[in-house]
Amino acid sequence: MTIETNVEVGGLATFGVEAKAAALVRWQTADDLRNLNEVPRPLKVVGGGSNLLFTGDFGGTLLLREGPAEMRRLSATRFDVDAHMALDDFCAAVAEAGLRGAENLSGIPGTLGGALVQNAGAYGAETGSLLVDATLFDLQTGRTLTVDREWMEFAYRSSRLKTEGGRYVVLSARLELLPPSAAANVDYGNLRATLGDAEPTPEAVRRAVLATRDSKLPDPATVGSAGSFFRNPEVGAELLRPEMPRYDLGNGLYKVPAAWLIDQCGLKGTAVGGAAVWPLQPLVIVNADGRATAADVLELEQTIVSAVERRFSITLIPEVEHL
Ligand code: EPU
């Protein structure tokens, strides 16, 4: 374990805005986490930093896990995976093994642990639905515990790990995939069209998902962003307009694509300083020139929220965690 103090940490988040933390701990084991009495509070785990915006300097301690991230096969379809493994590495490995269930999550940036915290999802699949159980470290009690899927209270881009505000660190998770004989999940958007006549093997679906992402989302290697900046709002029938795309949640609420609302406000490409609305997927705010400041991003966020509110009386809620 190493501890650095008053350290530049902007590079730990994919947005790439500058920020300092009072301390940064690089840790490997649960025992390391038991030895943090001296470091400034609050403690905050960072995974891949792909859903995180530093809104200024952080007065607490960031916890970054280092060391090899491994997956162990427990049975034909079950794996025990270290939480700091990149989610996409896991997706690639199980697709290659011919297993289904994770191929639609291909290309989502960040670690498995981060994906569980926010129940990351794409193309009709969610990380939480693969979970059997997870081993957590409780920062409040210093104990480890194993919890099942029900305990996690997974919901749209949410889990108990998220609502309890960083109390728990995910150490590892057991995930259950589906056998090769299971049906492909290709009903979302243009996935089936992208596949064309190809047989929807897990690897073919993975390639189609990656191609779709590439065509809409900024390349994380060259343009900083944190993926979708806002959640898709859930609204009552009174706020719907005839032309508005919607997904009926069956409980009187409708999920409306935030990208559509932002698009309708004519905000594609709108910029504040170095921060800009990504023209191909306006749900994404990018660090266009690599020099955006946190203030630029926050001002652009406010511009978008106000414009959508004025026009549709719908208040967008950020999906990206603000630290
Ligand atoms: N749309 C427009 N204009 C555009 C782009 C999209 O009007 O320029 C509208 C269209 O109506 C389109 C709809 O937005 O049908 C939905 O677009 P898309 O399928 O790209 O999905 P999304 O709802 O905008 C969500 C996730 C993404 C995930 C995609 C694909 C959230 C907050 N975002 O976006 O997740 O990749 O579905 O499954 O739920 C992320 O969370 O970081 C993320 C990238």
pLDDT of residue 225: 96
3-state secondary structure the chain: CEEEEEEECHHHCCCCCCCEEEEEEEECCHHHHCCCCCCCCCEEEECCCCCEECCCCEEEEEEEECCCCCEEECCCCEEEEECCCEHHHHHHHHHHCCCECCHHHCCCCCEHHHHHHCCCEECCEEHHHHEEEEEEEECCCCCEEEEEHHHHCCECCECHHHHCCCCEEEEEEEEECECCCCCCCCCCCCHHHHHCCCCCCHHHHHHHHHHHHHHHCCCCCCCEEEEECECCCEEEHHHCCCCCCCEECCCCEEECCHHHHHHHCCCCCCEECCEEECCCCCCEEEECCCCCCHHHHHHHHHHHHHHHHHHHCCCCCECCEEC
Q: Separation of 257 CA from ligand 1 center, angstroms?
A: 6
> Does the C-beta of 156 come closer than 6 Å to ligand 1?
no
Residue range 294-310: mean pLDDT, rounded: 98
Please state, for a pLDDT cut of 70, what percent of the chain lies above it. 100
pLDDT of residue 75: 98
pTM assigned to the model: 0.96
> Does the C-beta of 61 come closer than 6 Å to ligand 1?
no
Q: What is the pLDDT of residues 113-157, one digit of tens each?
A: 999 999 999 999 999 999 999 999 999 999 999 999 999 999 999
Q: What is the mean pLDDT of the chain?
A: 97
Q: Separation of 80 CA from ligand 1 center, angstroms?
A: 30
Give 220's pLDDT tier (boundaries 50, 70, 90): confident
| Residue 221 in this model has a pLDDT that exceeds 90 | no
Mutate to test the pocket of ligand 1, among 15, 234, 260 (most ligand atoms within 8 A of CB): 260
| Residue 253 in this model has a pLDDT that exceeds 90 | yes
Give 251's pLDDT tier (boundaries 50, 70, 90): very high
| Residue 306 in this model has a pLDDT that exceeds 90 | yes
Q: What is the pLDDT of residues 39-64, one digit of tens each?
A: 999 999 999 999 999 999 999 999 99
The residues annotated as belonging to the active site are 157, 228, 319
| Residue 9 in this model has a pLDDT that exceeds 90 | yes
Q: What is the pLDDT of residues 13-30, one digit of tens each?
A: 999 999 999 999 999 999
Q: Separation of 48 CA from ligand 1 center, angstroms?
A: 21
> Does the C-beta of 189 come closer than 6 Å to ligand 1?
yes
Ligand 1: which residue has its CA nearest to atom 2?
260
Ligand 1: which residue has its CA nearest to atom 25?
122
> Does the C-beta of 263 come closer than 6 Å to ligand 1?
yes
Closest atom, ligand 1, to C-alpha of 232: 32
